[in-house]
Structures are given as structure tokens and as C-alpha cells.
């Protein structure tokens, strides 16, 4: 895939990486299939953050993060997708969304 120039203003401090979005689960957050998101590496997330979460060490997914009743809810931004409720030990936050680059 082609390299993407990321504006320095998006980055701030820390390690960053870019991911190409697959699918439409975050479409209501303005994130479309084929967009490139800029992720800052972190294992911490606040309620409402859009994060890259590694689920059961196998599947990386971009979702909105919430803690709810001792569980972690990974919410899609598309009513066609159900919120996934997972135990703390099933989810590892890999990073937080800091920017979006639309590629046409």
C-alpha cells in the first residue's frame, strides 16, 4: 500500500502508526472503508475513545471503548453492528485514534 504523509500536527509525542480501515462499522463516526486512521500507541483508554483493540489476541478492531459494569464494551458507530461486551482480560488496547486521512 502507498505511504501516507501524516501531518505533524496530528502526531504530538509518542509512537504513531497508520492503519487502513476495512469495513463500515465506524461509519457514523465519519470513518469509512478505505480511510487511513492515525493511531497513537497506548494501552490506556478513556470512555468514549476510539481505539484499536486486540480481541482475544487474534483480531484487531477499531471501535469506541467504554467500561460498563466491570466489562469492556466495544461499540460500533453503525447501528447494523452490535456492541460487543468483553471481559477485561479479553481486550488489549493497542492505541487511540488521533487523526483521519481520507484517501480518494
How many of the other CB atoms lie within 10 Å of CB of 84? 17
pLDDT at 101: 86
4-61 confidence digits (pLDDT tens): 666 666 666 778 888 999 999 999 999 999 999 999 999 999 999 999 999 999 999 9
- Catalytic residues, by residue number, are 25, 63
Q: Where are the beta strands (DSSP E) in 1-104?
A: 16-20, 36-41, 50-55, 59-68, 71-75, 84-86, 91-101
Q: Is the pLDDT of residue 84 over 60?
A: yes
Mean pLDDT value across residues 55-73: 95
Query: Which residue has better confidence, 2 or 37?
Result: 37
Query: Which residue has better confidence, 102 or 10?
Result: 102
Q: Is the pLDDT of residue 90 over 90?
A: yes
How many of the other CB atoms lie within 10 Å of CB of 55? 16
Amino acid at each position: 500500500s502507498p505511504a501516507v504523509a501524516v501531518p505533524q500536527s496530528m502526531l504530538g509525542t509518542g509512537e504513531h502508526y497508520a492503519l487502513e480501515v476495512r469495513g463500515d462499522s465506524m461509519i457514523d463516526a465519519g470513518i469509512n472503508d478505505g480511510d487511513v486512521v492515525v493511531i497513537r500507541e497506548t494501552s490506556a483508554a478513556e470512555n468514549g475513545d476510539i481505539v484499536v483493540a486486540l480481541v482475544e489476541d487474534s483480531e484487531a478492531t477499531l471501535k469506541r471503548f467504554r467500561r460498563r459494569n466491570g466489562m469492556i464494551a466495544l461499540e460500533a458507530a453503525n447501528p447494523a453492528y452490535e456492541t460487543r461486551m468483553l471481559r477485561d482480560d479479553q481486550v488489549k488496547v493497542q492505541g487511540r485514534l488521533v487523526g483521519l486521512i481520507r484517501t480518494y
